[in-house]
Amino acid sequence: MANYLVTGGAGFIGSHIVEALLREGHSVRVFDNFSTGTQANIHFVRQALIAEGVDCSQTLDIFEGDIRSYHLVQDAVAGIDYVIHQAALPSVPRSVRDPLTSNDVNVSGTLNVLYAAKEAGVTRLVNASSSSVYGNAPTLPKVESMQPQPRSPYAVSKLSAEKYCQVFFEMYDLETVSLRYFNVFGPRQDPNSHYSAVIPRFIRSALKGDPLTVHGDGLQSRDFTYVANVVQANLLACTAPGAGGAVVNASCGGRYTLLDVISAIQNLSDTQVQVVHFPSRVGDVKDSQADIAAAERFLGYKPVIGFEEGFKRTFAWYQTEL
């Protein structure tokens, strides 16, 4: 068993990764400043493991800190074998309003994590990137060999972090893998933030009887990816032979519109939901879909849960929690 550091481990995706690692018997250190991650997510992890008879009292360590503080990151990586770097300031609209902070966290913060990992002799670092780096190019599906065309400060920051990862692999021999996430959804995703993702926001509104807000015509499409798939991609990326330096898509390779999501909500809730349309947002991408052949080749990755089943699980979770 190995020692893992999960930056942003109290967040939506990070907490699912932490849960999977603990279930496999690894020791996990969570590094989070709890700006977007929550203690509630850690509580959910502990409760889920207790219900399965897994004792994580000696294998889960919570380290509160900000990745922009190098000395704290340096302390966090001590004795660590693998770093799974999820900490970031998410959201395209947030980055449009405040590009300086997005850059500070997502670029400078990632550089801190990379340098500390290199100095500590970490075996491999897996970096959470984003499909937003592809921009609005009409070509589908998105293949890693395409020229990136970032259209927002957030996308630029994620592309910059990828490049830093590759530089550290090439110059410092720190093995890195960057995973380009495509619209991840699932339990524990915060529906209450102004910057929350569309699926939890839609489900919350439907369960409360509120109208669903759609920016644009609703025909914009996404490769919606249930969280268990990106968890699997991260775990595979830590140990896959010969994957050092790789940048690969992590998704399901499908495509669904916002109107498809609304239809799925109506079917599961057995109610007619009201939809209100607003103008499209600056920086938003019209269509997105991944080619996952590289992930299959480099990582041995295959999606484990499709959109329909993932959506059912997510909707059921919010029905209970909300």
Helix ranges (DSSP H) in the chain = 12-23, 39-51, 70-76, 92-97, 99-103, 109-120, 153-172, 198-208, 227-239, 258-269, 293-299, 307-321
Strand partners, 175: 124
Residue with tokens 């690692």: 21
pLDDT at residue 302, as a whole number: 97
Tokens 């259209």: give the residue. Answer: 151
* pLDDT recorded at residue 136: 87
- Within 8 A by CB and 6+ apart from 306, the residues are 226, 252, 254
Per cent of the chain over pLDDT 70 is: 99
| Statement: residue 283 has pLDDT above 70 | no
In DSSP terms, 180 is beta-bridged to: 129, 249
pLDDT 10s digits, 63-86: 999 999 999 999 999 999 999 999
Closest CA to 8 of 32, 42, 34, 44: 32
Q: By the 8 A CB rule, do 90 and 141 touch? A: no
pLDDT (mean) for 39-52: 96
Cβ-contact 125, 83 below 8 angstroms: yes
DSSP-based three-state secondary structure for 248: strand
* Contacts with 139 (C-beta within 8 Å, 6 or more apart), sequence order: 146
What is the β-pairing status of strands 124-130 and 246-250?
Answer: unpaired
- What's the confidence (pLDDT) of residue 280? 85
Mean pLDDT across 293-316:
97
Is the Cβ–Cβ distance between 182 and 250 less than 8 Å?
Answer: yes
Tally of CB atoms within 10 A around 209:
10
Give the closest residue to 63 by CA, choosing from 48, 53, 49, 78: 78
pLDDT > 70? residue 33: yes
Q: Which residues pair with 166 in a beta bridge?
A: none
Sign of the alpha-carbon torsion through 213, 14, 165, 225:
negative
CA distance 85 to 127: 5
* pLDDT band for position 58 (cuts 50, 70, 90): very high
Q: 321: pLDDT confidence band, cut at 50, 70 and 90?
A: confident
pLDDT digits (tens, 9 = 90+) for 232-266: 999 999 999 999 999 999 999 999 999 999 999 99
Q: Is the pLDDT of residue 194 over 70?
A: no
Q: Answer yes or no: 154 catalytic.
A: yes
C-alpha separations of 45 from 38, 63, 160, 286, 309 in Å: 11, 16, 32, 35, 21
On the CB side of 271, CA atoms within 13 Å amount to: 13
Task: Give the model's pLDDT for residue 196.
Answer: 75
Which of the four pLDDT bands, split at 50, 70 and 90, describes residue 125? very high
Q: List the catalytic residue out of 82, 154, 164, 318.
A: 154
Q: Alpha carbon of 243 to those of 114, 196, 270: distances in Å?
A: 17, 32, 45
As a CATH number, domain 3-184+227-251+285-304 is 3.40.50.720
Average confidence (pLDDT) over 174-203: 92
